[in-house]
Amino acid sequence: MIHSSAIIHPQAQVGSGCEIGPFCVIGENVILGENNKFHSHVVVDGYTKMGAGNEVFPFVAIGTKTQDLKYKGGNPRLEIGDKNVFREGATVHCGTNDGEATVIGSHNLFLIQAHVAHDCILGNHIIMSGYTGLAGHVVVGDHAIISGFSAVHQFCRIGKYSIIGGCSKIVQDVPPFMIVDGNPGETRTINKIGLERAGFSDEAQAALRAAYKVLFREGLSTPNALAKIEAELPPLPEVQYLVQFVRASERGVSK
């Protein structure tokens, strides 16, 4: 299952059932779980640990050195879960500081030329469309979708079940369950289609729509809007999560 032209460092750990195609390069400190498939011309380097069942297409670079100029050496890491797909030209970098890590969960899809920078933390079931980029220290929640050619500023948070429109510039946090679009990004409405597909109840969707109007359409300050939501809307888990996410924001949320 390993092509004769592949270069695998003798110290690399390769799990059973892995397919490593032509001209792939696997570095010294790489640990691969079972049944990963590397089509061809893939580079996996650095202190990278990858779970099982991932599929990596040609010209992907995983675990290479951070582009952060603050890098001073050491062993920053990259940790990747299971059953992710990295399409052609995608890039993922290790963390910057010794002992820190870029972390990617499971069941994510990274389309062509998608980029995950140093120290990002990604959950599960995320889609990054073609030519999207995450700067350093971005946090992305489960089931978020980042549409093509969008760019996310460092230290932003992308809430779960949110969707970012194509060609958007994200400089503040993207609230969960919402659609954000534009340059700079603005919160447009709730992610109705995404919530329906995920099986959220009608009650939860109605409460989130009401919360959206209070937060983004009534002209209230953020503390007053959150207080009104807590006082007037049902304490559903989705509403509580939205309130907690906005309250914890350090960059502010996209309005």
What amino acid positions are annotated as catalytic residues? 118-119, 136
CA nearest to 251, candidates 163, 109, 154, 186 = 154
Rounded to an integer, what distance in angstroms lies between the CA atom of residue 218 and that of residue 222?
10
Left if phi > 0, otherwise alpha if psi is -120 to 50, otherwise beta: which for 147? Answer: beta
The β-bridge partners of 38 are: 20, 56
| Sheet with 115-116, side-by-side order of all strands | 7-8, 25-26, 43-44, 61-64, 91-93, 115-116, 133-134, 151-152, 169-170
Dihedral angle of Cα 47, 81, 169, 237, to the nearest 10 degrees: -140
Question: 212-215: long-range contacts (C-beta < 8 A, 24 or more apart)?
Answer: 212/178, 212/187, 215/175, 215/187, 215/246, 215/253, 215/255
